[in-house]
Structure formats: C-alpha cells, structure tokens
C-alpha cells in the first residue's frame, strides 16, 4: 500500500488533531468519520478541507461495516474506549487508540484479551514519547551518558482542563481521574526511561485546590484533581517523581524532564525545546551543555509540539512494513495502572503495591 485509508472514531478536539496529522503525512487519507455529535463531525470535515471527502456516521459500527478503512483512530471520550474497542478489535483494521487505553486497569486487561490473537496492529496513543526533546533525552540515556539511572523526575506545570463535549472530562468516573487521564503520559515515560525495570510501589498526595471548584453538572460537582506529587518505586531501586500542577500556566516551560544516574544528568525542557547534558567530573553547576532540539521534518506541530505527527509516521511505517507496535497494549495498561495506584494512594493515605492493582 502506498496510501493508507483512515477512519477516525470520535471527532472532538483530539479527533480533529488526528485528522490534521494524518493528512499532513501525505501518505494518509481520511475516508470515514464517526461521532454522534453533529458539531464535532462538522469540525472534522472542515479540517479535511478539499483533501478528502470522507463518509460520515453517527455510529462507529456503521463506519466499520462500510469497509472503507485500513486503519482506525479511536479518540472517543475515555469512558467509552472499552465498549468501542470491543467492536473495533473485531474488525480487520489497524488501530491507534488515544490515551488512556481505558479508565481502569481491569478494563485494560479485558482489551488485552480481546486483542490477543489479532494480526492487525493495536497502538496506544502515548505520543509524548515522540516530542523531539524527549526523544533526544531518551537517546542520551540509551547511549550511557548518565550511567545507571537512579532518579527520573517529571514536572508538568500547565493550564486547567479544557472544555470537552458535554463536559465529560470534569468527572473522574468518566476519565479515570487526573492521574490516569492526564499523567499516564508521564508514567509511560518513566517506564520507558527505566526500560527493563518494573514499578512495584506508588506513593501519592494530591487534591483539587483551585480549578473547577464552582462547576456543578446535573447536581454533581466536578471532581478532577488539579495538583499532585507521585513517587513510583521500581524493582531495581530506581525512583520516579511526578510533580503536577494544573493552575500553573504562568510558567516558562510546561514540561521539564530530568534523568539522573551515577555518571551524570540529562534534562529536557518543553516548549523551549532545550536539552541539557551534564557529565560528572566534566561539568559543574551552571556549566552544562545546552542544545536546541528541533525536527525540521514535522509538517504539523498541532497540540503536542509535533509529537502526534511523528507518532503517525511511525504508525504508518509499522503498518506498511509489517512491523510491531512501538507503543503496545502492555505499555498503555501499565501507564493506567500506575495512575490508578496513585489515586488509591491519595484516597487511603498509604503506599499502594502495584501487585494489588495488576492482580
């Protein structure tokens, strides 16, 4: 195949983002869209412009029955992933499902069973892996710059949750909670940096301090946490730390990643797109190497600094060459499980063993 036919199921903000990135690759064409909300379908059609004239459906099952897609993107609200994937995984199409894979570990395990015997790809949309500064950081770690990794620290200081259709993202019951919905990305990055190590215990403290306090829907107050600290311990004695604040848009960098080993330290700053590298015995405080990291091949920056474009390039390459999914169901499952453990730790005030989450 020289061209891939895509269907996009769920054409809200992230669905439109996927449409724009697919078309920017010049190897993908959007042949079908599905969403029960007419306004969301209209936005996705507008994003297609004159480049394609996709069929539109109000039900994802009708899209699958039309048999006009080689690959499908699932970008529906989090709480629908389990039911939508039941139908999608039964169809002969490659699948990219937006993060989080599902809203609970139990649902992720059910999806894993459904996908066990498929010959088509299932890829989880944890696109932060593909941000150029993150890729550069991972390359430094893999090349041995920091030696044996002992500490991974990730800070996200950002703006509050945006509005979504019917305000579904204001409730933990719909999203899995902030530490599943938002920060599964960062737990995935911790796991990726500490490749080969398994998370064994999670400590967390968090709350809803500023955002959405006065928002009530059908008598139910919004309950999404807006700040947290999370510590993840691994079986090789390394530790990961997440520092999340969602009322900190008055900041220079939204994401700051730091990896420290016995030989040095490497940092990535986004959106400054700066990589900092320090080697013990060669550099001192204030005198590390600084590099601007960019990828001129990115045709669409979008909402995530070009990472979704790169993600789709890799997804397409895997389909066209018969390769494996770079971001597997197991990756998606583990990122959700750590988030679920963090929420349980906040609720109980105690550390949570990952074995108790994973079963």
Q: What is the mean pLDDT of residues 114-118?
A: 94
Q: What is the mean pLDDT of residues 15-27?
A: 95
Question: What per-residue confidence (pLDDT) applies to 359?
Answer: 87
Q: What is the mean pLDDT of residues 39-62?
A: 93
Q: What is the mean pLDDT of residues 44-56?
A: 90
Q: What mean pLDDT, rounded, does the chain reach?
A: 97
Question: What per-residue confidence (pLDDT) applies to 1?
Answer: 65
pLDDT digits (tens, 9 = 90+) for 317-355: 999 999 999 999 999 999 999 999 999 999 999 999 999
pLDDT digits (tens, 9 = 90+) for 68-104: 999 999 999 999 999 999 999 999 999 999 999 999 9
3-state secondary structure string across the chain: CCCEEEEEECCCHHHHHHHHHHHHCCCEEEEEEECCCHHHHHHHHHHHCCCCCCEEECCHHHHHHHCCCCEEEECCCHHHHHHHHHHHCCCCCEEEEECCCCCCHHHHHHHHHHCCCCCCCEEEECHHHHCHHHHHHHHHHHCCCCCCEEEEEEEEECCCCCCCHHHHHHCHHHHCCHHHHCCHHHHHHHHHHCCCCCEEEEEEEEECCCCCCCCEECCEECCCCCEEEEEEEECCCCEEEEEEECCCCCCCCCEEEEEEECCEEEEEEECCCEEEEEEECCECCCCCEEEECCCCCCCCCHHHCCHHHHHHHHHHHHHHHCCCCCCCHHHHHHHHHHHHHHHHHHHHCCCEEHHHHHC
Domains of the chain, each with CATH number or no CATH: 4-126+307-326 (3.40.50.720), 129-299+335-358 (3.30.360.10)
Q: How confident is the model at residue 26 (pLDDT cuts 50, 70, 90)?
A: confident
Question: What per-residue confidence (pLDDT) applies to 340?
Answer: 98
User: Is residue 44's pLDDT more than 80?
Assistant: yes
Question: What per-residue confidence (pLDDT) applies to 2?
Answer: 76
pLDDT digits (tens, 9 = 90+) for 225-271: 999 999 999 999 999 999 999 999 999 999 999 999 999 999 999 99
pLDDT digits (tens, 9 = 90+) for 260-303: 999 999 999 999 999 999 999 999 999 999 999 999 899 999 98
pLDDT digits (tens, 9 = 90+) for 161-186: 999 999 999 999 999 999 999 999 99
């Amino acid at each position: 195949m020289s061209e891939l036919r895509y269907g996009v199921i769920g054409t809200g903000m992230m669905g439109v983002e996927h449409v724009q990135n697919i078309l920017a690759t010049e190897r993908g064409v959007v042949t079908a869209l599905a969403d029960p909300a007419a306004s969301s379908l209209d936005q996705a059609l507008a994003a297609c412009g004159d480049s394609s004239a996709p069929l539109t459906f109000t039900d994802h099952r009708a899209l699958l029955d039309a048999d006009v897609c080689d690959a499908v993107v699932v970008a529906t609200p989090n709480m629908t992933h389990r039911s939508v994937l039941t139908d999608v995984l039964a169809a002969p199409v490659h699948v990219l499902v937006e993060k989080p894979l599902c809203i609970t570990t139990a649902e992720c395990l059910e999806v894993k069973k459904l996908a066990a015997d498929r010959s088509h790809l299932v890829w989880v949309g944890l696109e932060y892996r593909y941000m150029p500064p993150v890729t550069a950081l991972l390359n430094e770690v893999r090349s041995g710059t920091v030696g044996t990794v002992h500490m991974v620290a990730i800070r996200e200081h950002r703006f509050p949750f945006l509005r979504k259709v019917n305000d579904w993202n204001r409730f933990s019951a719909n999203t899995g909670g902030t530490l599943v919905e938002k920060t599964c990305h960062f737990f995935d990055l911790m796991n990726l940096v500490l490749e080969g190590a398994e998370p064994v215990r999670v400590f967390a403290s968090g709350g809803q301090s500023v955002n959405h306090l006065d928002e009530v829907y059908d008598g139910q107050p919004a309950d999404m946490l807006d700040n947290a600290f999370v510590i993840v311990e691994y079986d090789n004695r390394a530790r990961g730390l997440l520092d999340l604040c969602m009322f900190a848009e008055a900041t220079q960098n939204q994401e700051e990643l730091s990896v420290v080993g016995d030989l040095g330290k490497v940092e990535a700053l986004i959106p400054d797109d700066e990589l900092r590298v320090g080697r013990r015995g060669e550099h001192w405080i204030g005198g590390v190497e600084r590099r601007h990291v960019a990828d001129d091949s990115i045709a669409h920056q979008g909402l995530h600094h070009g990472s979704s474009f790169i993600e789709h390039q890799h997804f397409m390459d895997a389909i066209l060459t018969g390769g494996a999914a770079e971001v597997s169901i197991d990756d998606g499952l583990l990122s959700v499980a750590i988030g679920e453990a963090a929420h349980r730790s906040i609720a109980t005030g105690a550390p949570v063993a990952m074995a108790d989450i994973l079963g």
